[in-house]
Amino acid sequence: MESYRDKKQLKVDHMELLEATAPGIDLADFMPTSCIPPEELMEMVEDLIAKHIKYKPWKTFCKKVLNDEEIRTRMLMAPGAKTVHHAYVGGLLEHTLQVARASMALCDVYPNLDRQTLLVGAIFHDLGKAWELSGGLTNDYTDEGRLLGHIQIGQDKLEPFLKRSKTLEDSLKLHLKHLITSHHGEHDFGSPVRPKTPEAFVLHFADNMDAKLNIIDQAYVDMDKTGQEWSPYMRFLERNVYRAPGTPDNSKKNDDKPENQCLLPLKA
Amino acid sequence: MESYRDKKQLKVDHMELLEATAPGIDLADFMPTSCIPPEELMEMVEDLIAKHIKYKPWKTFCKKVLNDEEIRTRMLMAPGAKTVHHAYVGGLLEHTLQVARASMALCDVYPNLDRQTLLVGAIFHDLGKAWELSGGLTNDYTDEGRLLGHIQIGQDKLEPFLKRSKTLEDSLKLHLKHLITSHHGEHDFGSPVRPKTPEAFVLHFADNMDAKLNIIDQAYVDMDKTGQEWSPYMRFLERNVYRAPGTPDNSKKNDDKPENQCLLPLKA
Amino acid sequence: MESYRDKKQLKVDHMELLEATAPGIDLADFMPTSCIPPEELMEMVEDLIAKHIKYKPWKTFCKKVLNDEEIRTRMLMAPGAKTVHHAYVGGLLEHTLQVARASMALCDVYPNLDRQTLLVGAIFHDLGKAWELSGGLTNDYTDEGRLLGHIQIGQDKLEPFLKRSKTLEDSLKLHLKHLITSHHGEHDFGSPVRPKTPEAFVLHFADNMDAKLNIIDQAYVDMDKTGQEWSPYMRFLERNVYRAPGTPDNSKKNDDKPENQCLLPLKA
Amino acid sequence: MESYRDKKQLKVDHMELLEATAPGIDLADFMPTSCIPPEELMEMVEDLIAKHIKYKPWKTFCKKVLNDEEIRTRMLMAPGAKTVHHAYVGGLLEHTLQVARASMALCDVYPNLDRQTLLVGAIFHDLGKAWELSGGLTNDYTDEGRLLGHIQIGQDKLEPFLKRSKTLEDSLKLHLKHLITSHHGEHDFGSPVRPKTPEAFVLHFADNMDAKLNIIDQAYVDMDKTGQEWSPYMRFLERNVYRAPGTPDNSKKNDDKPENQCLLPLKA
Amino acid sequence: MESYRDKKQLKVDHMELLEATAPGIDLADFMPTSCIPPEELMEMVEDLIAKHIKYKPWKTFCKKVLNDEEIRTRMLMAPGAKTVHHAYVGGLLEHTLQVARASMALCDVYPNLDRQTLLVGAIFHDLGKAWELSGGLTNDYTDEGRLLGHIQIGQDKLEPFLKRSKTLEDSLKLHLKHLITSHHGEHDFGSPVRPKTPEAFVLHFADNMDAKLNIIDQAYVDMDKTGQEWSPYMRFLERNVYRAPGTPDNSKKNDDKPENQCLLPLKA
Amino acid sequence: MESYRDKKQLKVDHMELLEATAPGIDLADFMPTSCIPPEELMEMVEDLIAKHIKYKPWKTFCKKVLNDEEIRTRMLMAPGAKTVHHAYVGGLLEHTLQVARASMALCDVYPNLDRQTLLVGAIFHDLGKAWELSGGLTNDYTDEGRLLGHIQIGQDKLEPFLKRSKTLEDSLKLHLKHLITSHHGEHDFGSPVRPKTPEAFVLHFADNMDAKLNIIDQAYVDMDKTGQEWSPYMRFLERNVYRAPGTPDNSKKNDDKPENQCLLPLKA
């Protein structure tokens, strides 16, 4: 930074092309990132596992997958989608965390559900997205992503861990694979198989709902800036969305929101 | 009851046709009823209101509607649907309670939602069903039910209470009406308007999910009797459903279920 | 208006913002309006009532609704839709009149239809549109319009009149409400309930046909200017429309059309 | 007919298999037939032509087609459909007449329509049905009917008459062919081309409406016998239909209906 | 062509508007044309007839149609579609040839098919396109094309030849007409009747596949220029298409393609 | 077999329950089987590989998979579907062979296709069906089949072979996986990803066409017995199918068909 004719001037002496994954490089310095840093989101996911998963083989399985270096690195950086929702570094983890939380909250209302398998399914349902999208500065689909889709990629990534787990029952492995394969809910949305267990229905609902609520939350951020009550037409939702005036004296305080625009609740 | 040639014989001296609503007649003696008696379900609903609704005008509104004699009587007897789900006395209340619980559980995960308006919407979203179906021994659609549908009927029943409430803001009234009108989620499912607020999305998901989980639960009851892992083809879900073997040592005990086949959690 | 360097110049000394409903203001001076003034269209509607409705309670009901000050004022100004068809002051009345006329014409061909209930349904089927759209210079959807839709709004407006009418049979009230609720014909088009009486089918057809013929008529006006035989692609109809050369010596004279571009027949 | 042990007995001396088209055989003696005899329906159609068609080449064209011996014979016997609507001798003519009447009634409401071309289209829109169905005692689809459909067959039958008419403008011929080809309204219903002129829209609506009203009328005949207000589920309409109580003192007298169950108005 | 200030300059002395069909005018000099000249494509079609059609009446029928002057002229110039595929002079013949070749190749795999009728159907399935599109420099739909569609037009053109052929069995004529009428496969794609014989299924598949492969081939030509592996989003296919790296040492040589961009195999 | 009172009598001394896969047991003795024995079909598949696949890594890959004992055993026994098509021992191989043949035949017509990758895709596209269906005497879906579907199962079976092949390019592996994943063509039919290469389009068409032609062939076998020209309504095809009279003197002789009802051509 120099001065030139009384104006500040950026002088570039030297330029170097760094890989996005080069040591010391934090992509979050260059790109929109989740409010809560990805590492903290990952810890929150691990806390959920610690809290809900009591069955040793599931616990081990989750630990092995999340501690795999390539998987962990990619999960920390991955967006939740290309453009529609959670399109920022940490977006995949933020979405994963909320789907897992919603699933656990629903297990309190429907206690007959297999809470542990459902949680494993929630945590890994979109794993393939970490390879479906290139992430990084140009967040585009990869060849693999377009030709196979994230459901297939996710299955391929989990398969070796499932094979290696000798203690996990085949029926649980099959149920987990079903949860992942069916989580889009309908053929139309790219699920080769539709949900056939209550856990698969719940995972699909939680996934679908979180994606939509995130889209609306982002529209709200823009509407806050302009003071509009109605969003512009949103192609993905095929409608305009509305911010209804809230119930007065609502026990919920919105105080944390204006501060950092961080829509994810810190502890839910 | 007499004996005739060593066989017990029922002798009918006198028959009288009683109205289903005659005093001293409890339809639940003649028909399948929710495990938890409707009166207790109603209390649980009122407990939810007491716990979550802090805004006086909402509290008063709920109380006025639920204490209206015709409304309360009909809500206590009404089934949740004609045949597909919750097709028993108390079914409407059971469905209402679970949708309300699920909505509140999701408000913990998404704290920006307007929890109070959502709860009022959840409690009254299917109110019209108490008139759409005749209930009673022949649970068929009424003329009104077929010609207007339960969304319109429900709006008509709530309208006078909304008009009488001078303290409730017009914007909250409008939001409540939107929640009810849009709760089927899509035009295809009979919603004249689709959800346009996050609360409306959540109500639609909770409603849809509870109906489906109840259908599966009822299929499970039948499958338990025959020991099958797969249900027969279920027309409404357009698929067979599967009972996946649960995670071993699951913290959830199934002990209460075999006893009374009561699928609704007592305290969620 | 002054002269400035030999050019006429409009000089504004004073500007005042007037409400569109201010006394002495006729919106039609500022906006496109139906060829036949709204007041005359209203009289034509009232003539139809006088001609076809013999049953006193229906006659009284119609008079009460049409003479309600807010309703009458709004009906006179309301467009028939936001942009697609009848998007001008008087458009709602013009559409209402043609749907009513078409319904009556079809009663001659199908004499078993309940002509009177059908006419009442035709006249009030789109009543809610007078609140769904803001009308005026910026003809946009109102909050109420987007969150409830004109079918629900219309029902809400008619409900008090229906309640007050002690002589009208409940079955006729129910039929009228069914006609309004089902007039879009299919769930897909926002009808919560589909037509279940022949009168409801006829009203739906007449409504649908009039909207489409009005769209084509407007395209013809544009095509007349350019001499084209084919319209540009029309998004709402999802096609181009064609003006076929007419049968020669057709008894119909087109003479009145070029004069005033008024497509509505003066006496049908 | 003899007597045998005091019981009447039918004695068959001789049996002969007669062609349905054999001279002296009137199929109507053996099969359900339209209330108004087909010959009278044909006269009513011809009266409509006399009344509305002033253009000589259209008049000649209609006469030539209707006086073709094979065409006239088949039109007189043909049903309107296989089972769904107008499934009786004379059904095609009854349907044709009502579609033509409805089209003419709508021309009064929309006077810009080309009334004459529309009438010719209405009269011949279903001509192919006279070959699509075998008619007679076993009213099944013919090979031609299944492999080409009645739209194509009708075009093939009219083509020679169109070619022979030297005075009719090519543009009118093309419009007529368009009316026939597009009369099902949507690709889904088997129209290779969708309506692109207002006349084609009106013909499609009139055709669709008449088919549905005839189905409902037939359901009403059955409901009258059992006193039901609701029909059974009707597969073609995908709903139950309702007979709403009519407006009292309705000017329409239902007296002629109970007498002969003839639903077609004698003079409309 | 002159020189003006050292630059070449085109000087126009005289301009004359020539009809596209004027003698001595070859449209191919002004417009994109198939790599193989239309006349050669026509010969290839005739070679296929010579090779596969042994039944005299079919042979005669094909010859008569193809040697009709108007038909031959139009077939030689016609594009295969307006914009989507084969949109160049000779496109219709190129498409026709490939559909015919694919059909014959499939007859080797499914020898029970009626190879000869299928070939006649393949050759004439899109005949109507030669009138549906104006072809020439402004390749737009004709009135006839928009109002009737190419299926109907094609039938009309073949009808006189079918009538004149006394030796061809009616059942074969009917089968040919069915092949043409059903070749779009589904109502949605404008087929008034869906395929009901195996030959009709095969023709539909071959037609559909050739159109799509031609679209992809054209996308590949563009991708070759830019070196992209993925095409832009293709509206008609509703996706991006990918050029997968081929199997090495593939016996197929791509040598002829870079030279002339001619995608049609010279001898298949 | 004994004689008892002059009647033959089967006397069972001893019964043993044998596994369907027990040595010396040929399921084909107890069940409908493909005309050509599965072993011969497998040889035909291997001949196709020998003829078309020149690239060593593909050749080795195919050999490794087909010689895997479990895979080969299951492929030899598997049906092509549960009930709709190829529902007999050997059905999967028969379908596989025809899809492969059709794909190769189409490569002659479209020589730019990657013939080798396409053939590998054709041979393994339905591999998962050998585990999706139990095969054997009760040919029902397995849990795995219902919860994952044959596309996912097939990928899982091929994955280890793909991993082990060090010489095969990643891009070819990816293309093969895309061919399998997209072969149902549309999301609606359970493809998580739609075809994005011309080879994937061709495989989808060949698969779809062969399934439909096999269904029709089986209908023809039944129709031959009763002499009908039209099949009964076929739920899967949603239509009746027709056997059109063939072109006379057709070069194809049907002589082999009446003998053994074997619809698969011996050499195509």
> Is E96 in the F-facing interface, judged by CB distances under 8 Å?
no
Q: In chain A, which residues have their Cβ closer than 8 Å to the Cβ of E229?
A: 143
DSSP B247: P
Backbone phi, psi, residue D133, to 5°: -115, 145
Question: What are the phi and psi torsion angles at C235 (to 5°)?
Answer: -55, -45
The three-class DSSP label of residue A177 is helix
Chain E CB contacts of C229 under 8 Å are: 143
- Per the CB < 8 A criterion, the answer to whether D182 and D196 are in contact is yes
Phi, psi of D33 (to 5 degrees): -135, 155
Among A224-233, F8-17, F63-72, the range of highest mean pLDDT: F63-72
CB–CB contacts below 8 A, A to E: 6
**Does the beta-carbon distance from E143 to C240 stay under 8 Å?**
no
Q: Which pLDDT tens digit goes with each residue over F195-215? A: 999 999 999 999 999 999 999
The SS3 call for residue C115 is helix
Q: Is the residue at B135 inside a domain?
A: yes
Q: How much is the pLDDT for E259?
A: 40
Which pTM was predicted?
0.88
Full domain range(s) for residue C163: 32-243
Collect all residues of chain E within an 8 Å Cβ-Cβ radius of residue F112.
217, 252, 254, 257, 263
Closest CA to C96 of C159, C51, C43: C43
Sign of the alpha-carbon torsion through E57, E63, E69, E74: positive
Whether F146 sits inside 8 A of A189 (CB atoms) is no
Q: Is pLDDT larger for residue F11 or for residue B119?
A: B119
Domain membership flag for residue D26:
no
Query: pLDDT truncated to tens, each residue of chain C (268 aa)?
Result: 566 677 766 666 776 665 556 666 666 666 788 889 999 999 999 999 999 999 999 999 999 999 999 999 999 999 887 777 788 889 999 999 999 999 999 999 999 999 999 999 999 999 999 999 887 667 789 999 999 999 999 999 999 999 999 999 999 999 999 999 999 988 877 778 999 999 999 999 999 999 999 999 999 999 999 899 999 999 999 999 999 999 997 444 544 444 444 656 544 4
Q: Is C105 on the interface with B (CB under 8 A)?
A: no
Chain C residues in contact with D212 (beta carbon < 8 A)? 201
* Min distance D125 CA to chain F CA atoms (Å): 25
Taking contacts as CB-CB distances below 8 angstroms, the residues of chain C near E145 are none
Q: What is the CATH number of the domain that holds D216?
A: 1.10.3210
> What's the gap in Å between the CA of E98 and the closest CA on chain F?
7
Cα nearest neighbour of F245 on chain D: D143
Report yes or no: F188 at the E interface, CB cutoff 8 Å.
no
CB contact under 8 A, D147 and E174: yes
Question: Both tokens of residue A70?
Answer: 């390539």
pLDDT band per the 50, 70, 90 thresholds, residue A21: low
The predicted-structure confidence for E148-167, as pLDDT tens digits, reads as follows 999 999 999 999 999 999 99
By CB atoms closer than 10 A (0-12, 13-18, 19+), residue F265 is middle
The domain total for chain D is: 1
- Tell if the CB–CB gap between B109 and A111 is shorter than 8 Å: no
Q: Do chains D and F touch (3 or more CB pairs under 8 A)?
A: yes
B126 touches chain A (CB under 8 A): no
Q: Looking at the complex, does the CB of residue B146 fall below 8 Å from at least one CB of chain C?
A: yes
Q: Taking CA F2 as the corner, what is the angle to CA F1 and CA F8, rounded to the nearest 5 degrees?
A: 85
* Contact with chain C for residue D173, Cβ under 8 A: no
Q: Spell out a b/e string for D20-54, using b for 16 or more CB atoms within 10 Å of the CB, else e.
A: eeeeeeebbeebebbbbbbeebbebbeebbeebbe
A119 closest CA partner among B252, D118, B215: B252
DSSP state of E168: S
Residue E248, number of CB atoms within 10 A of its CB: 13
Has residue E62 been placed in a domain? yes
pLDDT at residue E266 greater than cutoff 60: no
Contact at CB, E146 and C229, closer than 8 angstroms: no
Q: Give strand pairing partners of C8.
A: C3
Residues 6+ apart with CB under 8 A from E251: F54, F115
Helices (H), chain C: 38-52, 56-67, 69-77, 91-109, 115-124, 129-132, 143-164, 170-181, 198-226, 256-260
Partners of chain A (3+ Cβ pairs below 8 A): B, C, E, F
Q: Which amino acid is at B262?
A: C
Contacts of B229 in chain F (CB under 8 A): 143
Measured between alpha carbons, how far is C234 from C241 in angstroms, rounded to an integer?
A: 8
Chains A and B lie in contact, requiring 3 or more CB pairs less than 8 Å apart: yes
Q: Do chains B and E touch (3 or more CB pairs under 8 A)?
A: no
E193 and D147: CB-CB below 8 Å? Answer: yes
Whether C71 is in a domain gets the answer yes
pLDDT in tens, F107-161: 999 999 999 999 999 999 999 999 998 876 677 899 999 999 999 999 999 999 9
A228, A230, A241: which to substitute to probe chain C, counting the most C Cβ within 10 Å? A230
| D100 is a domain residue | yes
Contacts of A192 in chain F (CB under 8 A): 148-149, 151-152, 190-192
Instruction: Tally the residues of chain D.
Output: 268
Domain assignment present for A161: yes
- D150 Cβ neighbours under 8 A, 6+ residues apart: D126, D127, D128, D129, D131, D132
- Residue E111 to residues A184, F119, F250, Cα–Cα distance (Å): 42, 21, 11
Residue C163 lies in a domain: yes
pLDDT digits (tens, 9 = 90+) for D28-53: 666 788 889 999 999 999 999 999 99
Q: Kindly list the partner chains of chain D, i.e. chains with 3 or more CB atom pairs below 8 Å.
A: B, C, E, F
Nearest CA in chain D to C205: D205
Structure tokens at F57: 């890594």
In a domain, A17, yes or no: no
